Copies of this chain bind each other. A is one copy, B any other.
């Protein structure tokens, strides 16, 4: 069985095999993935011309209602996606983030149609009088870009990663070509099969490249948009291609993020805030086995409470059963692939050079609850402790993309902000406190890079992604 591509209006298999997808818990083959032989010049042109023309002719409310219809359609079929999602090593809760989080994103963007007039374009703000007599007025209008959005997605959210991106470009009247990771595209394929069957989107508005997609970015032209979610190294290599600069292609890179969670000085053990902090930190480490771009990698706590937080957190991790989510009591699943096990292990090794392991083992071995623990991509939680976060810096740059986090002390609110800033920009930083002044002070002295994030979409009405990390809270 092959995982297929949907391009130029039909489902096609690539030549040969680029990757054999496997069930993350059992190791069973799920089929071969390939996008070899696809013609990306044709595929992107088809999107721009066929899909783009149809979408541009629709008004914002029409596009919004289309998204709503799609969301309702997928919601009815969600149980099928949960079944397939289990093969990614996900628990029900993990799959909920991916599947219903993704569908929720369609609903949210659908609702935004009410902020737009019944026009295919958007009148942005009031006219501005530029000459004394009003003979020279300024009026911004926003129109759909005539290009195509090419989304290169990460393996950890095969459904949400697609839906959160296309929701915005479809509302804006721009077609998409989605290239999920070949590791989990078997799930994206199932959802796209339903989307295509539904007939809700105009033909050409969505195409799917299930394999590695080598060469897809060479076909990108002026007016296209590229989004990349994945590793910083790959992203930087792709972003710096000269033809993007020359063609003015907007490129959005979402890569490694050393997210932090800071416990306020007031939030001592025994306070509700302390309990919230421990609960959320535990969730951040274990949900999706830590495979979230927004997962907390740095747990920053007042020096006085470092031991207390460590003991409490380690206690919670010790009672978290991990293994095969189909078995009773399992709260944390596996990583997505055996390759990820190797990658996380390698990052843990690197972190262990200057951070002390206070829970777990550097090889990720542990008591996985599964009928065949050796077959699954299991990795047990690891908690590091870094006594000197201003000197030992690897925890601020190495992201182990699994159930791995580092606790570290701070001595003043200012120092906490400096520690956070060492991550050089994060998707998320949490500050847990009931002290309004401290919250204000911390938010108002943010690390430089906290204001660097930009919204990635053509005509995005609001960057809801930045506000709503995929957390089932």
Q: Chain A interface (Cβ within 8 Å of chain B)? A: 120-121, 125, 128, 130-131, 135-136, 138, 140-147, 222-223, 236, 239-240, 242, 245-246, 248, 250, 424-425, 443-444, 446, 448-452, 458-459, 462, 464, 466-468, 471, 473
B residues in contact with A471, CB < 8 Å: 136
Q: Given A130-B467, A146-B448, are A239 and B248 neighbors across the interface (CB < 8 Å)?
A: no
Interface contact A131-B245, CB-CB below 8 Å: no
Q: Given A130-B468, A467-B138, are A448 and B147 neighbors across the interface (CB < 8 Å)?
A: yes
Interface contact B136-A451, CB-CB below 8 Å: no
CA distance A125 to B451 in the complex (A): 16
B residues in contact with A223, CB < 8 Å: 448-449, 452
Q: Which residue of B lies closest to A145 (CB)?
A: B451
B residues in contact with A424, CB < 8 Å: 222, 248
The contact of A131 among B242, B450, B459, B473, by CB within 8 Å, is: B473
Interface contact A121-B240, CB-CB below 8 Å: no
B residues in contact with A444, CB < 8 Å: 120-121, 143
A/B interface sample: 17 pairs, CB < 8 A:
A121-B444, A125-B462, A128-B467, A128-B468, A130-B468, A131-B473, A136-B473, A138-B467, A141-B443, A143-B444, A143-B446, A146-B448, A147-B448, A222-B449, A236-B245, A240-B240, A248-B424
Q: Which residue of B lies closest to A119 (CB)?
A: B444
The contact of A448 among B222, B462, B466, by CB within 8 Å, is: B222
CA distance A242 to B236 in the complex (A): 9
B residues in contact with A464, CB < 8 Å: 128, 138
A246, chain B: closest CB distance, angstroms: 7
B residues in contact with A239, CB < 8 Å: 245
Interface contact B448-A140, CB-CB below 8 Å: no
CA distance A145 to B464 in the complex (A): 22
A424, chain B: closest CB distance, angstroms: 6
Q: Given A245-B240, A246-B236, A444-B120, are A138 and B468 neighbors across the interface (CB < 8 Å)?
A: yes
B residues in contact with A250, CB < 8 Å: 452
CA distance A451 to B225 in the complex (A): 12
CA distance A449 to B458 in the complex (A): 12
Q: Which residue of B lies closest to A124 (CB)?
A: B462
CA distance A143 to B147 in the complex (A): 33
Q: Given A131-B473, A138-B468, A473-B136, are A248 and B446 neighbors across the interface (CB < 8 Å)?
A: no
CA distance A451 to B128 in the complex (A): 19
A115, chain B: closest CB distance, angstroms: 11
B residues in contact with A452, CB < 8 Å: 145, 222-223, 248, 250
The contact of A240 among B140, B222, B242, by CB within 8 Å, is: B242
> Which are the 7 A-B pairs with shortest beta-carbon distances?
A138-B467, A223-B448, A146-B448, A240-B245, A130-B468, A248-B452, A136-B473
Q: Which residue of B lies closest to A142 (CB)?
A: B451
B residues in contact with A146, CB < 8 Å: 448
Q: Which residue of B lies closest to A130 (CB)?
A: B468
B residues in contact with A143, CB < 8 Å: 444, 446, 450-451
Interface contact A425-B248, CB-CB below 8 Å: yes
Q: Which residue of B lies closest to A121 (CB)?
A: B444
Q: Which residue of B lies closest to A250 (CB)?
A: B452
Q: Which residue of B lies closest to A454 (CB)?
A: B250
A428, chain B: closest CB distance, angstroms: 12
Interface contact B136-A248, CB-CB below 8 Å: no
Q: Which residue of B lies closest to A445 (CB)?
A: B143
Interface contact B458-A451, CB-CB below 8 Å: yes
CA distance A135 to B276 in the complex (A): 12
Which of A140, A448, A473 has most B Cβ within 10 Å?
A448
B residues in contact with A242, CB < 8 Å: 240
B residues in contact with A240, CB < 8 Å: 240, 242, 245
Q: Which residue of B lies closest to A141 (CB)?
A: B443
List 7 additional A-B contacts (Cβ < 8 Å) besides A130-B468, A140-B467, A250-B452. Answer: A121-B444, A128-B467, A138-B467, A222-B424, A223-B449, A223-B452, A236-B246
Which of A443, A451, A462 has most B Cβ within 10 Å?
A451
CA distance A140 to B451 in the complex (A): 10
Q: Which residue of B lies closest to A425 (CB)?
A: B248
B residues in contact with A462, CB < 8 Å: 125, 128
